[in-house]
């Protein structure tokens, strides 16, 4: 018995000067947070440092695969007359030390925000200058990594149909030939199966579940690790190269991805796995 899932790989914009999402599918990094009107810049629950945007996926864009868009509840349609878009967003703290505390998933020490939000595609920057300056000053002083260089994913191309990673086969006996064809790929991708390590860290219980209810989850977006954040191929000599489009914290977190509760699709979880 197998459990194949379709996957999608990023197609990046050749224009590295673009800093706004527009009608594209995903904005990686940059200093623009798509927030709701009058919403404050999000802060880290561990150190109160302003968070930085890691990924912001436009689930209303027709350049985002339909297979993912249909999994986002109450997403506004493309070209909404009010100028709104529904996004999957991950904001993270650029201060590396916070993650050692936060990986036990204590609510009081959470150092990231992962959410589904409907926000204006045209943003006002007037209320965010203080937070942006603190991030930029911290990076210049060597205290954090600051903002990532902005990068746009225009759309996505179909990837392979993926089977479970060998670390979580749990009795599923794929042949070597079958696994070589359908092995999950590393790096940034939509859907598919996540690449796993020996250890695993995630929420144990969906916050929307009732007592004694176990909710299944599925991979929504694999973000990757520091070596494979962008999903690019390995160097010809077989050595891995750290991506400039990754945060230093990824070196300790291993592979990271966003999971979605199947019973409560509005609930997202940041999950991590690696050989720590």
For 160-178, write each residue's pLDDT tens digit: 999 888 777 776 777 888 8
Tell me the per-residue pLDDT of 185-194, one tens digit each, with 9 for 90 and over.
988 999 999 8
Considering only residues 139 and 74, tell me which one the structure prediction assigns the higher pLDDT: 74
Q: What is the pLDDT of residue 220?
A: 95
> Do 144 and 208 share a domain, yes or no?
no
Q: Is residue 188 part of a domain?
A: yes
pTM of the model: 0.88
> Do 130 and 170 share a domain, yes or no?
no
Residue 191: name the closest of 1, 9, 2 by CA.
9
Q: Is residue 166 part of a domain?
A: yes
Range of the domain at 88: 12-154
Residue 87: name the closest of 24, 159, 146, 30 by CA.
24
CA distance 72 to 69: 6
Domain boundary among 100, 123, 154: 154
Does residue 56 sit in helix, strand or coil?
strand
Tell me the per-residue pLDDT of 81-136, one tens digit each, with 9 for 90 and over.
888 999 999 998 887 677 655 555 444 567 889 999 999 998 765 557 788 888 88
Q: Is residue 3 part of a domain?
A: no
> Do 60 and 137 share a domain, yes or no?
yes
> Do 40 and 140 share a domain, yes or no?
yes
> Do 125 and 164 share a domain, yes or no?
no
Q: Is residue 2 part of a domain?
A: no
Domain boundary among 135, 154, 173: 154
Q: Is residue 141 part of a domain?
A: yes
Domain count, the chain: 2
Q: Is residue 244 part of a domain?
A: yes
> Do 185 and 140 share a domain, yes or no?
no
Tell me the per-residue pLDDT of 208-230, one tens digit each, with 9 for 90 and over.
777 777 778 889 999 987 777 76
> Do 128 and 166 share a domain, yes or no?
no
29 neighbors 223 (Cβ within 8 angstroms): no
> Do 145 and 24 share a domain, yes or no?
yes
> Do 34 and 133 share a domain, yes or no?
yes
> Do 137 and 169 share a domain, yes or no?
no
């Amino acid at each position: 018995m197998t459990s194949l899932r379709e996957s999608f790989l990023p197609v990046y914009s050749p224009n590295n000067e673009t800093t706004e999402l527009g009608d594209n599918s995903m904005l990686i990094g940059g200093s623009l947070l798509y927030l709701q009107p009058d919403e404050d810049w999000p802060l880290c629950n561990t150190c109160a440092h302003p968070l930085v945007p890691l990924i912001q996926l436009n689930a209303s864009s027709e350049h985002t695969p339909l297979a993912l868009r249909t999994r986002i509840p109450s997403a506004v349609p493309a070209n909404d007359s009010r100028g709104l878009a529904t996004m999957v967003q991950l904001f993270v703290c650029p201060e590396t030390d916070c993650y050692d505390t936060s990986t036990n998933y204590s609510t009081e020490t959470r150092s990231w925000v992962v959410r589904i939000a409907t926000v204006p595609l045209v943003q006002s920057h007037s209320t965010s200058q203080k937070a942006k300056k603190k991030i930029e000053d911290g990076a210049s002083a060597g205290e954090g990594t600051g903002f990532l260089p902005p990068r746009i994913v225009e759309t996505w191309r179909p990837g392979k149909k993926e089977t479970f990673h060998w670390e979580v086969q749990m009795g599923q006996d794929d042949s070597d030939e079958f696994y070589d064809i359908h092995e999950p790929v590393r790096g940034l991708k939509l859907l598919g199966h996540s690449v796993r390590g020996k250890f695993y860290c995630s929420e144990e219980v969906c916050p929307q579940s009732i007592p004694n209810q176990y909710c299944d989850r599925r991979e929504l977006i694999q973000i990757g690790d520091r070596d494979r954040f962008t999903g690019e191929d390995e160097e010809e000599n077989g050595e891995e190269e750290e991506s400039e489009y990754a945060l230093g914290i990824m070196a300790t977190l291993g592979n990271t991805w966003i999971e979605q509760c199947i019973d409560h699709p509005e609930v997202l979880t940041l999950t991590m796995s690696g050989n720590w």
